[in-house]
Amino acid sequence: MTTMRFAWFAGLVALLMAGVLSPTPSRAAMDGRQQASLNEGWRFQKGDTADAPVVAFDPKDWLKVTLPHTFNGADGADGGGYYRGPGWYRREFFTADGAAPGRYFLQFDGAALVADVYLNGQRVGRHEGGYAAFRFDVTARVRPGRNVVAVRVDNSASPHIAPLGGDFTVFGGLYRGVSLIRTPLLHVDALDHGGPGVYATTVSMTPERATVRVTTRVRNDAPAARRTRVTTRILDAEGGLVAQASSVKPLAAGATTPVEQTLTIDKARAWNGRKDPYLYAVAATVAGVEGGETDAVRVPLGLRTTRIDPDKGFFLNGEHLAVHGVNLHLDRPGVGLAVSDDDVAEDFRLMEAMGANGLRLVHFQHPAKAYDLADRAGLVVWTEIPFNSKVGYEPEFLANLEQQLRELIRQTYNHPSVVVWGLGNEVYAADEATNQALAALHALAKAEDPSRPTVYAHCCASDTDRLTTHTDLIGYNRYYGW
């Protein structure tokens, strides 16, 4: 991304603490969509402060922090007796007059366990669940000049929010990045459960060609109906065009609609694990037929087939693959779950040196960097939601599990490394509530993504308990000698 391309946005958003905006483009940023990091210049206070969202409040006595940050970096290291409660984060940014009409979103890559977000004294949203990314439309609250963001993050245990148990620390804080996104009025949907709004599915694949279906969710926030052109390009690893499709669709004001397109790649190259983790890219653009700004989102595409045989094991692109790997928690001494991209990359280098070709990301959704690196390394990944150890007995708990599963699937759907959806881990109670939850989660996973199997990690009842009947696969956890 060139400096010139970001020049107008540099005038739009200025980071108060640094004095100058250093915008960080997202992996999906192109043309009319811009994304600026808000990771620097925060103030933090542990505990509750009633006036924290008030614009006139002065947090000068609060701790200066840079994201990612957790307030359990020290006391959460031993897994017990750590602080579970609220903390406040606050920072400012500036906007200029005269910006082109558009939509503005605050994106949080991870905040545990509950986040209440305020902009200029008004609450713009609440997110329950500590491990998925989420966005809020803040267009109505952004104003020229000084803007104040305040976030109350609370990692207190709640009977309505997973996880309810587990032998790991629930690190509190804004432990992943925060950014400000600006899109044109006609744009790829930015409020699709934190997902990219563009989803690519390999329909069929032979040595001669592959057929790919791409669904792009298009949103029209203009005051009038628009004739919308959606153009989808598939690019090879060098950026060369290998397939293209274009569609025109009328879209009413305030409407969101999915646009499906089917593309064919001749002489397609498979994503073939560690042997050859070849990646294409899908670039979807949205613009009005009459002209105007173009929004664009780019997502990874790996062409591969998977199959799991109960007698013969795992098959990748028709060939048997003996999977050997590790379970991964990303916490580090002193920083807990607030790891950097360099920390994540170091873990993947260690796995590569070990010869691992499989990875279970436990026991919750991991940062985007982990899935990117798994794609590039050719690892096959089991990723899961934090339905761990204990079940909740109120309907809000199941609703939260379903929310976290939907977020996980939408946000990681395009990663070829992801081969199974994990629905739970070692839930002790083999009762009706647990069985109903697993059945509901399996149904949701199949509705969201029929192409991948579901799995449950089982340990704590008989091997043939009813708990083992809901998912496509079962992992039997064994603790020999314990």
CA atoms of 130 and 118, how far apart (whole Å): 18
**459 with 427: CB under 8 angstroms?**
no
Q: Dihedral of CA 256/260/265/270: which sign?
A: positive
Measured between alpha carbons, how far apart are the two ends of the chain, in Å? Answer: 53
CA atoms of 263 and 366, how far apart (whole Å): 31
Choose among 31, 30, 13, 17: nearest CA to 99: 13
Q: Taking the mean position of all CA atoms in its chain, how far away is CA 59? A: 31
Choose among 70, 5, 75: nearest CA to 35: 5
CA atoms of 219 and 216, how far apart (whole Å): 10
Task: List, in order, residues 6 or more apart from 399 with CB less than 8 Å away.
Answer: none
Report strand pairing: 13-15 vs 86-95. Answer: antiparallel
**314 with 382: CB under 8 angstroms?**
no
Choose among 133, 140, 137, 139: nearest CA to 193: 133
Q: Is 188 left (phi over 0), alpha (psi -120 to 50) or beta?
A: beta
Number of residues that this document lists for the chain:
482
Q: Looking up tokens 């070709």, which residue turns up?
A: 357
Report strand pairing: 358-361 vs 380-384. Answer: parallel
Q: Is 92 left (phi over 0), alpha (psi -120 to 50) or beta?
A: beta
CA atoms of 264 and 174, how far apart (whole Å): 42
Neighbouring C-alpha atoms within 13 Å toward the C-beta of 329: 16
**471 with 385: CB under 8 angstroms?**
no
Residues involved in catalysis: 426
**185 with 103: CB under 8 angstroms?**
yes
DSSP 56: T
